[in-house]
Amino acid sequence: MSFDTDKANEKNRGLIDGIVSELCAAAVDSMARLRRKPARHVAPSRVAVLKIMENIRMILFPGYHGPPDLTEETLPYYLGAKLDQTRNLLEDQITRGLCFLCPSDECARLREECIEKASKIVGIFLGFLPEIRRILMTDVQAAYEGDPAAKSPDEAIFCYPGIQAVTNHRIAHELYRLDVPLIPRIISESAHSVTGIDIHPGAVIGERFFMDHGTGIVVGETSVIGSNVRLYQGVTLGALSFPLDASGKPIKGIPRHPVVEDDVIIYSGATILGRITIGKGSVIGGNVWLTQDVPPGSKLTQRKARED
Amino acid sequence: MSFDTDKANEKNRGLIDGIVSELCAAAVDSMARLRRKPARHVAPSRVAVLKIMENIRMILFPGYHGPPDLTEETLPYYLGAKLDQTRNLLEDQITRGLCFLCPSDECARLREECIEKASKIVGIFLGFLPEIRRILMTDVQAAYEGDPAAKSPDEAIFCYPGIQAVTNHRIAHELYRLDVPLIPRIISESAHSVTGIDIHPGAVIGERFFMDHGTGIVVGETSVIGSNVRLYQGVTLGALSFPLDASGKPIKGIPRHPVVEDDVIIYSGATILGRITIGKGSVIGGNVWLTQDVPPGSKLTQRKARED
Amino acid sequence: MSFDTDKANEKNRGLIDGIVSELCAAAVDSMARLRRKPARHVAPSRVAVLKIMENIRMILFPGYHGPPDLTEETLPYYLGAKLDQTRNLLEDQITRGLCFLCPSDECARLREECIEKASKIVGIFLGFLPEIRRILMTDVQAAYEGDPAAKSPDEAIFCYPGIQAVTNHRIAHELYRLDVPLIPRIISESAHSVTGIDIHPGAVIGERFFMDHGTGIVVGETSVIGSNVRLYQGVTLGALSFPLDASGKPIKGIPRHPVVEDDVIIYSGATILGRITIGKGSVIGGNVWLTQDVPPGSKLTQRKARED
Amino acid sequence: MSFDTDKANEKNRGLIDGIVSELCAAAVDSMARLRRKPARHVAPSRVAVLKIMENIRMILFPGYHGPPDLTEETLPYYLGAKLDQTRNLLEDQITRGLCFLCPSDECARLREECIEKASKIVGIFLGFLPEIRRILMTDVQAAYEGDPAAKSPDEAIFCYPGIQAVTNHRIAHELYRLDVPLIPRIISESAHSVTGIDIHPGAVIGERFFMDHGTGIVVGETSVIGSNVRLYQGVTLGALSFPLDASGKPIKGIPRHPVVEDDVIIYSGATILGRITIGKGSVIGGNVWLTQDVPPGSKLTQRKARED
Amino acid sequence: MSFDTDKANEKNRGLIDGIVSELCAAAVDSMARLRRKPARHVAPSRVAVLKIMENIRMILFPGYHGPPDLTEETLPYYLGAKLDQTRNLLEDQITRGLCFLCPSDECARLREECIEKASKIVGIFLGFLPEIRRILMTDVQAAYEGDPAAKSPDEAIFCYPGIQAVTNHRIAHELYRLDVPLIPRIISESAHSVTGIDIHPGAVIGERFFMDHGTGIVVGETSVIGSNVRLYQGVTLGALSFPLDASGKPIKGIPRHPVVEDDVIIYSGATILGRITIGKGSVIGGNVWLTQDVPPGSKLTQRKARED
Amino acid sequence: MSFDTDKANEKNRGLIDGIVSELCAAAVDSMARLRRKPARHVAPSRVAVLKIMENIRMILFPGYHGPPDLTEETLPYYLGAKLDQTRNLLEDQITRGLCFLCPSDECARLREECIEKASKIVGIFLGFLPEIRRILMTDVQAAYEGDPAAKSPDEAIFCYPGIQAVTNHRIAHELYRLDVPLIPRIISESAHSVTGIDIHPGAVIGERFFMDHGTGIVVGETSVIGSNVRLYQGVTLGALSFPLDASGKPIKGIPRHPVVEDDVIIYSGATILGRITIGKGSVIGGNVWLTQDVPPGSKLTQRKARED
């Protein structure tokens, strides 16, 4: 920034004034189109949500994440302090989420209701943490047992992207079920950006869920996955098509993703679309394109490659 | 670092001296092979480019990114200040990019020219921002309409990786068209690393472009994409092969990636290679491998999976 | 956090006490199941490992990463200081890794042995750096020659995710060969999360290795890759199935991933599973699913897509 | 933190439980004595106040503090954005200050009033900034003229502790006059800790005020200082004694510090105590102890030192 | 750093090599003179000591320093977690301090002893915290009662430099009494640099100690101060002279600073030197130079200033 | 910042527009008065100067400041790297200083000269470092010998404010002698703000200089101090008065501060003013006010305090 840009700046004089005018006009305009006044409320903060997830990871896996050297005597203090911090941060973020999407013009009056609602939600959510922990431990065990390269369950907790993604999902899913707006999506996207695994917070997933490698896995909003299911990288559980409403827009909330029953394995790159059911114990080969029900115990593979 | 490593260090005495000698010799050597003296100029900074993109995101989507609580009165000030910061940062980075790749030995003389060129480029580029914003708003609308899980356009702006990637692309593409070296690639790689979507800055992409989930999407340098196109995760628009020059190296810059016409949908994992044309309104199924033209309105799917 | 949450807090009184009790009980319990007392030792630090990799990148590619403006006079000083920093950081992390997984109860006695072992390992490892650098330069050259969009080898070093991933792999692989626990995996996962390329530290990879785009590439633990091999995004070199031991758990360490001979190209999305051999000079088309040996010089492509 | 402290910890088991119990009991106790429940409200943040002062310094002295390279075109944008940031930060801090000291139990009801009051105060305060700037420029000029070592007024703005302290004072004084609690004191203490100059926010100080070196200067709450006054390091304008109320506590708010008329110079280490008046144009020598009125034009010095 | 300094660097070629040689020779040399090999052990870290003091301030004054919004339910968790962090940090720093000054060559053997000693010291020290808190509350009360400008005890805890300095002193003093090397001095210097108050950790100070303004106060190592004493800025309690040993160096550890009895007030700038006693209830005027005992109840002031 | 400030903002509408206008007018105006256009050049950066001093402290006192665990083998690498960093940072800051104060309008032409001049100055300055180190070691030895509370010279290097201040001074003084503008003053002010010791960079100071406690010491620009001099806190070496030029401004650069010969001790709070000479070996008592020459070997003390 230390160049002598005098001459150049001379030429650009007025440039910024002009762009600012255009952009202000556009922002007012298009924001109105989106039915929002510019920034009436403080939007949720991605950074705060990341901090919340970091706290929760420490709470769920003490000794692996967060402060080291915990003992039986000191563990409760760290857990309690992190839980309280998490409560405060989460109440604030959920309040922001509720207000951000609130269509009402009577915001001052409704704000108190949002705060109270957020506080109630957080109280319920925190109460789920011990159960979430129990289930995640079954995921860890499944990862250890399912991956011949795994040296110990510790390694899975410590650095398996699949464990990171399913942790975020199980948290996001509970918030989704509590009708929290935006925050669950930010949580699932934060795992997506780090692991390449994209699980919609709405998906229902059973115990002992293992995703190996994981990059490119997509699990849609209305998917239902049983226990002891294993997905490899690049697997899609998606929608085949979706009914449109009168105005040509997709109707929201209709079940449109697969049901995967217990003990199913789906190999890398398989694409499974629509509200179909993959029967218990089936094995789906890599790169398969599947849009129809599969009975329990099936084994599907792609047609053989052709030699040129 | 507080271990008593005295004994160990004793054994390693001389280790560092030896490695330094080897590496210095190698660096001088191989850097010469790359026709560059060690570090004649300051290379562009990834961190600065990320800052530039953060600024631009604030400028394009005020209220969603950057400072909250903007009002009609304060918006112009924030926009103006961010624009000026962005101008300064970008001029510096582009100058670095121009100098870094400059083959000349007469750098002192040419430096002034690089600075002036950078300043001119930035002036032109900033003038594009209002139009880039307008087009991005069509992408946001397409995302909202194309994803049944989307609750509002806000959500798309706020946390859809596809929107993040296409924002980076539209910025990088304008800089690419202005012959800026390195910086466009750093911008597209920064989106790639976060979203798993890899769009070469050279690709030409129309309005209302929607990438759902996105991980693993690859769009090559000479691809041409029409309006209202939707790509799912894992779609490749790549080159099939490329002509080599006399010395066996690929010839740069020849059109070698697909043309995708308006209103096309390509499902997850499809691989489309070579300078072929996917006709208007076609639907390409998942995991398809495609190397030939497809007429308008076609519907292609993979052959059925084989039951073992 | 500045809302008046008095009333809400009133309702939640006792909430945290209850959750802390449950989580403490669970942590003691399940950690015992994992055969570890809660946090006896300090676990390795992901942040420190990232710092180590950043240092090594500067050591291997001075002028591209790390401090700019190096000259022949100053280069040795920067290299020496970074090498020493790296030695200290790496000794500490490897000691942590050894202790973290140490099953023994006699830790106080064994600790000194761990420290000494870590110091020896680091001494050997640092001595490999010049050779690692030499090989990486062949990878850079292959990237430049193999990608028509590459403007210069500089660009590849600077921002190609494939180069970042193979750098991490070559480092992680040497540590893996030296029986370092956890750290190699953290190194490979750090590349995985940024590039979407997941190479197990155990994989053996020859010179001139080029991964274009890269997202979704998976290379398994016992893979063997020859020289001058090129992989595109989404390629899997995986295991088809693996023998279980008497208790139904996979037996660790058996060769179960492909052997890819010299001069092979594998296009995007191909899935290659099991201990099969892809013969020298073969070309494997995109999205192919392959579980059998392929003779040298083969060209395989997916069956043609079906028009609906 | 990587020592093997197992044995030591064994001995300390229970230590923390014990101390926590004692401290909790004490905190509840003594905080009750201070008539406050533990942390009912969020206290003001020193870090935020420092940020506010940094902003204001940029607003008052653009080009010297804050972003460089401002031009006539870009200056308004930076000023506007900083002013808005400052407004938001200051409203929040003043609200916290008002709530922190609020004796009432009906806080939920009064909170809205505090917020509204804070907003009104900030509106008035920001309107004072242009006048504050004008007066500070007279201080800068006085520093330049009064210090033979000063090379330019720039140097004074840039790094004279006296200018830093008087800037903080003039800001703190206006907030003090607007009955803002705590924040003015945090502002004056932040200057005190950096410069060693301790001016109570209540002191009234005229134009062209110059403090050379400054360390150890103390100016009490009810001091009144005219125009064109110069103080050297270690000068005290303090209270001699103060009347106690029936319970033996000092009565607050009574004028008890000196009045210093225009054009007075007071040399280093002079101690001037009580509600006395130093007449216009007087010169007070170093280390003098003064508790009585001094007529205009006086010259006082300490008695001669005694040779042993 | 982006200037073209090629020519200049050319002239300076060899400069750094030369200076490095000289400095290395000097470091080896003079460090030997100081009877230490260069950096055998890791020195204590000022940053870590600051962190320790920040933690202790939170532990002693919850709600004023550290996390806000504490309640009776959450307070114990925060206290316990901070205490454990503080224990770990302090054990590490004290071990460093003990090792740094350890004259022995048998360090490996002695190290374990240092660690154990540090752990014992920390255990004892933490047990003092509740009593330290009780005494500090008397200091806070004295500040509130002694300063007519104080609006509430809260304000004193929150931002009075005197309270900050006496907090650091009471901590440093207990560590000094436990024979901790270096750390107490770093603690007292950290208060000195922020407040200008320099109290040697060895000084013994009674309850209800109040320092108003404080800048320039010096309290020497062997000073003894009773209860309810008030010092103003610039007061020195120093040594008049000190006996030298045979080699002309001052003999360490002899009582050489004043004894100040209960209820004494000393005004600004007074210099009190030598092992003299200021009798109970005395008042010492500003700028007085005092080297002899003063009986209880005395009132001393400086001779009157002389008019020129 | 999350309060509902809608109503308040309503009232303040237009506030920021108004203040911005006033401040812009004022800035243009008064900056013109100071004979500078608003921010033509980038001003020096205090943060960068602090970084430079941190580097130099590491270079001068390796093992005490900066990276720990240095050995004979690694020391040169750290020194070389830090020296090169320091060279780059210092060249940049000095160039900024030269340009910032440059009165010329032909800046583009003169800029190259400034850069070259800065580079030359830095080359000369760095060459002084070994000698500066030698002298500082005599200061350290004097501190150890002069302070009965000092446990070792290590402690003095590690945390004595007097050593920190004299280190900054000896660096600033060499830059002052090389006619560097602004930077020396920023260096001395940075020590002033931390230690309360204010030494003008112009002062000439001999070896074995010891300042005990230090707060409030002021040493003026033209002071000359011999070898083995000791100053206590609050000592002023100042100007008594200074001749004014025709326009009533002080004439710059005339010798106006004391000469203090070898082996002098000056106790706390003494004020010594004017171009007088304190003869070799003299002892000046605390709080003395001195404006006349003192012959060698004198002992001066303040008159006895008066009992009321």
Q: Does the pLDDT of residue C38 top 80, yes or no?
A: no
Read off the pLDDT of residues A19-77 as tens digits, 9 standing for 90 and up. Answer: 888 888 877 665 544 434 344 457 888 999 999 999 999 999 987 887 767 777 888 89
Q: What is the DSSP code (8-state) at residue C205?
A: E
pLDDT, residue A262, reads 98
Q: Which residues of C touch E16 (CB under 8 A)?
A: 73-74, 77
Q: Which residues of D touch F279 (CB under 8 A)?
A: none
Does residue C210 contact residue C227 with C-beta atoms inside 8 Å?
Answer: no
Pairing mode, if any, of strands F210-212 and E204-205? Answer: unpaired
Three-state secondary structure call for residue A206: coil
Per-residue pLDDT band at C7 (split at 50, 70, 90): very low
Residue in C14, C20, C69 closest to E1 by CB = C69
| CA-wise closest residue to E182 among F56, F194, F64, F139 | F64
Residues 254-273 of A with CB under 8 A from C: 267-269
Cα separation, B123 vs B117, whole angstroms: 10
Number of Cβ pairs < 8 A linking chain C and chain D: 23
Read off the pLDDT of residues A245-285 as tens digits, 9 standing for 90 and up. Answer: 777 677 777 899 999 999 999 999 899 999 999 999 999 98
Task: Return the percentage of chain E with pLDDT > 90, whole number.
Answer: 58
Show the tokens assigned to B11: 């054994």
| CA-wise closest residue to C229 among C166, C148, C179 | C166
F106 at A interface, C-beta within 8 A: no
Range name among C95-109, D6-20, E88-102, E262-276 with the lowest pLDDT average: D6-20
Q: Mark yes or no for CB contact B92/E6 under 8 Å.
A: no
Q: Which chains touch B (3 or more CB pairs under 8 A)?
A: A, C, D, E, F
Range name among B47-56, D104-113, E55-64 with the lowest pLDDT average: D104-113
This prediction's pTM: 0.90
To the nearest 10°, report the CA torsion of B278, B280, B282, B286. 50
Look up residue E43 and give its amino acid. A
Residue in D9, D19, D271 closest to E126 by CB = D19
Q: Which residues of A touch D71 (CB under 8 A)?
A: 9
Q: Mark yes or no for CB contact A77/E79 under 8 Å.
A: yes
Range name among A101-115, A134-148, C140-154, F129-143 with the lowest pLDDT average: A101-115
Q: Does the pLDDT of residue C3 top 70, yes or no?
A: no
Q: Which of B1, B84, B89 to mutate to test the interface with D (most CBs of D within 10 A)?
A: B84
What value, to the nearest 5°, has the Cα angle with vertex A262 and ends A256 and A265?
85
pLDDT, residue A30, reads 55
Does residue F273 contact residue D286 with C-beta atoms inside 8 Å?
Answer: yes
Q: Does the pLDDT of residue F36 top 50, yes or no?
A: no
Strands (E), chain F: 198-199, 204-205, 210-212, 218-219, 224-225, 230-232, 236-238, 259-260, 265-266, 271-273, 277-278, 283-284, 289-290, 299-301, 306-307
Per-residue pLDDT band at D1 (split at 50, 70, 90): very low
Phi, psi of E71 (to 5 degrees): -125, 170
Residue in F3, F9, F23 closest to D130 by CB = F23
Range name among B64-73, D122-131, E110-119 with the lowest pLDDT average: B64-73
Q: Does the pLDDT of residue C283 top 50, yes or no?
A: yes
Per-residue pLDDT band at E3 (split at 50, 70, 90): very low
pLDDT, residue E43, reads 80
Number of Cβ pairs < 8 A linking chain A and chain B: 211
Read off the pLDDT of residues C152-166 as tens digits, 9 standing for 90 and up. Answer: 888 899 889 999 999
Q: Which residue has the higher pLDDT, C26 or C156?
A: C156
Give alpha helix (H) positions in F70-106. Answer: 75-100
Read off the pLDDT of residues D195-239 as tens digits, 9 standing for 90 and up. Answer: 999 999 999 999 999 999 999 999 999 999 999 999 999 999 999
Q: Mark yes or no for CB contact E26/F134 under 8 Å.
A: yes
Q: Does the pLDDT of residue A231 top 90, yes or no?
A: yes
Average pLDDT (F156-171) is 95
Cα separation, A108 vs A115, whole angstroms: 11
Q: Does the pLDDT of residue B159 top 80, yes or no?
A: yes
Per-residue pLDDT band at D26 (split at 50, 70, 90): confident
Q: Does the pLDDT of residue C203 top 60, yes or no?
A: yes
Number of Cβ pairs < 8 A linking chain B and chain E: 23
Q: Does the pLDDT of residue B258 top 60, yes or no?
A: yes
Beta bridge partners of D114: none
Q: Which residue has the higher pLDDT, A307 or D244?
A: D244
C-alpha distances in Å from residue E205, one per residue of B214, B283, E196, E227: 68, 85, 18, 7
Look up residue A220 and give its amino acid. G
Per-residue pLDDT band at F140 (split at 50, 70, 90): very high
Q: Which of D114, D213, D217 to mutate to test the interface with F (most CBs of F within 10 A)?
A: D213
Per-residue pLDDT band at C2 (split at 50, 70, 90): very low
Q: What is the DSSP code (8-state) at residue D305?
A: P
Q: Does the pLDDT of residue E257 top 60, yes or no?
A: yes
User: What value does the CA radius of gyration of chain E take, rounded to a whole number of Å?
Assistant: 24
Q: Is E82 exposed, middle or buried (0-12, 13-18, 19+ CB in 10 A)?
A: buried
D247 at C interface, C-beta within 8 A: no
pLDDT, residue B49, reads 95
Distance from CA of B250 to the nearest CA of E (A): 35
pLDDT, residue C232, reads 95
Average pLDDT (F139-160) is 89
Q: Mark yes or no for CB contact A287/C269 under 8 Å.
A: yes
Per-residue pLDDT band at E13 (split at 50, 70, 90): low
pLDDT, residue B30, reads 55
Phi, psi of B13 (to 5 degrees): -55, 135
Q: Which of B11, B19, B23, B73 to mutate to test the interface with F (most CBs of F within 10 A)?
A: B73
Average pLDDT (E47-71) is 87
Strands (E), E43-175: none
Distance from CA of D176 to the nearest CA of A (A): 30
Average pLDDT (F105-111) is 60
E81 at D interface, C-beta within 8 A: no
pLDDT, residue C126, reads 94
Residues 7-46 of D with CB under 8 A from F: none
Q: Which residue has the higher pLDDT, A94 or A112?
A: A94
Distance from CA of D22 to the nearest CA of C (A): 19
Q: Mark yes or no for CB contact C2/D108 under 8 Å.
A: no
Residue in D72, D149, D303 closest to F28 by CB = D72
B159 at A interface, C-beta within 8 A: yes
User: Please, what's the b/e burial string for B17-48 (b: 16 or more CB within 10 A of its CB; e: otherwise)?
Assistant: eebbebbbebbeebbeebebebbbbbbbbbeb
pLDDT, residue F5, reads 40
C-alpha distances in Å from residue E220, one per residue of E188, E233, F151: 12, 15, 15
pLDDT, residue C14, reads 74
pLDDT, residue E240, reads 83
Strands (E), chain E: 198-199, 204-205, 210-212, 218-219, 224-225, 230-232, 236-238, 259-260, 265-266, 271-273, 277-278, 283-284, 289-290, 299-301, 306-307
Q: Mark yes or no for CB contact A101/B63 under 8 Å.
A: no
Read off the pLDDT of residues F205-237 as tens digits, 9 standing for 90 and up. Answer: 999 999 999 999 999 999 999 999 999 999 999
Range name among A2-16, B105-119, E214-228 with the lowest pLDDT average: A2-16
